[in-house]
Amino acid sequence: MRKAGPDTDPFVRLRSALRGDDETLHAGLVRPVFSRLERVRPKRDFQFHPHQHREFEIILVVRGPYQFQLNGESFRLSKDTVLIVEPDDWHQDLCEPPLDYAALLFTFHSRVDGNRLPGLRFFRKGTPLNHRHAPFRASIFLPLLYKIAREARTHDPMATHLQDTLVEEIFWRIARAFDPRWLSSWLSPSQSKEAFLAQLSASMARHAHRSVAVAELARSLGISQRTLSLRCATLLGDSPARVFLRFKIEQARELLSEGGISVKEVSDRFGFADPYHFSRAYKAVTGFPPSQTPANPD
């Protein structure tokens, strides 16, 4: 049997996904994080100055028409339409009453380590600007926006997490409104094999902090334990338990290579019984003990 190389080994693709490459990253490892919310209801004509975005912006037209320029092109949208503006876009609002729109700003972060993913995009490269908006009912969007605004007034330590959760619901509902042909590859896996690997790695990332039985992992994917075992054997060449162990050890290796964290802390973070069991498993997978992990050259 031919040995899998970096471009053919599915587990390499799982590791690549954790690093945030747009070609290998998938939806299960990404979460939108709330930045701010604005509601624009002008009483007279005015224009915003042209500005270049540093964050994503979702604009929902509650009452139109909404006139704007995006990267030098002029558009006019009616009510119940949603527009996605991406980082580095040049955008200008041309506001004439009666007009009512909501603007929700957010960024993408990794669900694994919490770091921002600055290179990630919503649309595929080369998507025409007239495919950057889609019909979307305000009756779906507005109740969630009201909840976000209400949380901002509570001064509760949990408010930020609730806002992020609400933004996540808004985001996925809106993503579903767009033609998948124009979405970035991480939002619409094209092959069932890749979709399974995406779902598997997302599930493992969610459970990486503790010990999880294969049956529970299968339930989280909505498949039987036998099906999970067969797919892991076919696509990854190993059992689900071994795949999950390799997954956790790979994340542990990344942490240790960055320095500043002890073996015990890493052992605890990934749900091992104690540092001794962690060290044994780590050496079995990597070939060297945790204390000898090479430093990350970056």
HEC string of 81-118? EEEEECCCCEEEEEECCCCEEEEEEEEEEECCCCCECC
* Locus of tokens 């399974």: 196
Q: pTM for this one?
A: 0.62
Strands 56-63 and 73-77: unpaired
- pLDDT beyond 90 at 18: no
CB 73, CB 110: distance < 8 Å: no
Q: Going from the N-terminus, what domains does the chain have, and what CATH number goes with each?
A: 10-17+189-292 (1.10.10.60), 30-181 (2.60.120.280)
Q: What is the pLDDT of residue 121?
A: 92
- pLDDT beyond 60 at 1: no
Looking at the DSSP assignment, which residues form a beta bridge with residue 123?
183
The 10s digit of each residue's pLDDT in 53-95 is: 999 999 999 998 999 999 999 999 999 999 999 999 999 999 9
The 10s digit of each residue's pLDDT in 167-219 is: 999 999 999 999 988 998 788 655 567 778 888 888 898 898 888 899 999 99
Q: What is the pLDDT of residue 24?
A: 52
Q: What ranges in the chain are assigned the alpha helix state H?
A: 10-18, 138-152, 159-175, 192-207, 214-221, 225-236, 240-258, 263-269, 275-286
- pLDDT beyond 70 at 45: yes
The token duo for 158 is: 């949990």
- pLDDT beyond 90 at 268: yes
